[in-house]
Structure 1
Amino acid sequence: MAEDEDYGFPTLCSATFLSWYLVLFEVNLTVLGKLVKEVVRLEKVRPGFQPVNVHTLLIRLQKNVNVVVALVSMCRTHDKVTLHAMAVKYGGKFVDSFLKAFDFLQVHFQMHNEAILLLVKELQKATRTIQTLCSEAKGLKQTVITSKIPATKRSLERFLFRVKALLHSTSNGCTFWMGNLKHKDLRGQVVSSQAYVDDGIDSIDEDPEGAVDVDPQGSVPSASENSENE
């Protein structure tokens, strides 16, 4: 990063960039945590509360998701190992917190399925990048990242299966596919399957008839592939 590129932040430079990145992740996690607690509390006090309130909460969740996607996506253009380690660690923590809102999403899926599908699909932009970061770190033996992989992988796996359960429990015609995905690096270039020793979890796409697929190509990815959709 050039010293004079402050992007609206006068104190932001290459020397402060990592601290800025960490603080943004931590603040976004704090905001998400408070929002999840609010959602859980409101559901207990007023089960099935008014649609306008649900819509407002979904918009706030979407903002949180947009922030984490933007932060994780920065790893595609910044190759600092410390930055990648933060994305893996805090990306996993974000998914963990987001999962606590899944009961709320399931209750209101019928009325707000488009907004909820958008939430999930957007968040998967981050989970795919995190999968790639994990795989590249294993291949390059970057221990500062690999030490954080097990916990994050468990979070991503829980996310995948909660999404699957959410869609399978609805009766609106949504379907859920899991498939073999192409191996790509952080810059989107297809690489040999031998380059990575870990696997990626999915991408979700909505077809014209409303089906939701985790890669439309067909079979369940193994625990040792990493990839993205074409």
Structure 2
Amino acid sequence: MIEIKDKADCCGCTACASVCAHGAITMKPDAMGFLYPVVDRSKCVDCGLCDKVCAFNDNYDTDLNLPKPDAYAARHKDMHEVETSRSGAAFIAMSDYVLENGGVVYGAGYTDHFRVVHKRATTREERDEFKGSKYVQSDMNTVFRQVKKDLKDGLIVMFSGTPCQTAGLNSYVGRRLREHLILVDIVCHGVPGPNLWRDYIAYLEKKQGDKICWVNFRDKQAFGWKAHRETFKFVNGGG
């Protein structure tokens, strides 16, 4: 049975909740909105799968790790894609390939007034929501299970997320299904709490007296490559 005694030993990836066939594990937010697994002991059968699948387990499978990483630099040929992405738009190039070959793409998008969640895309239009940095922990919900189903159905799947999210998914999917899974993680310095982001949105809307209708965590077009400034647009034209 998984039991989080130190929050540093959990990233909220949902691998443990996804692998539990008895529905004994649910993800509950703490005061900052970070999600942690909570076990319903009345449903738990002590099978041990939740502990086994955890990427923080000492026995986490590292068979696919390279002895020494290969480093490459890439930039999209289309400058429009570069200008509307946060870096060089490599994610767009890779996901275009997956979509053109009948695959699906998972990435971070929005729901419920800019709450960050992971979503599934089968078209470029759906995929474009995943463009750009989103400096908040995303809610996985049932995405891990959706990815596994897609892989079992024979689809190529590309998943983009933080390193701890991709590690959790890699462990949950298992060796047999990894062949058609493309994992793309980001250089991560840690993610702010969802409730902090929620409260900041509420603060800006109260200050402006208007609802936010558009968000950009790093507006390259307005502030260039080096700036780390958020841009917001409001319903009635403010920004």
TM-score by length of 1: 0.23
Query: Rg bigger for which structure?
Result: 2
TM-score, reference length from structure 2: 0.22
Per residue, is there more helix in 1 or in 2? Answer: 1
**Which structure: greater strand fraction?**
2
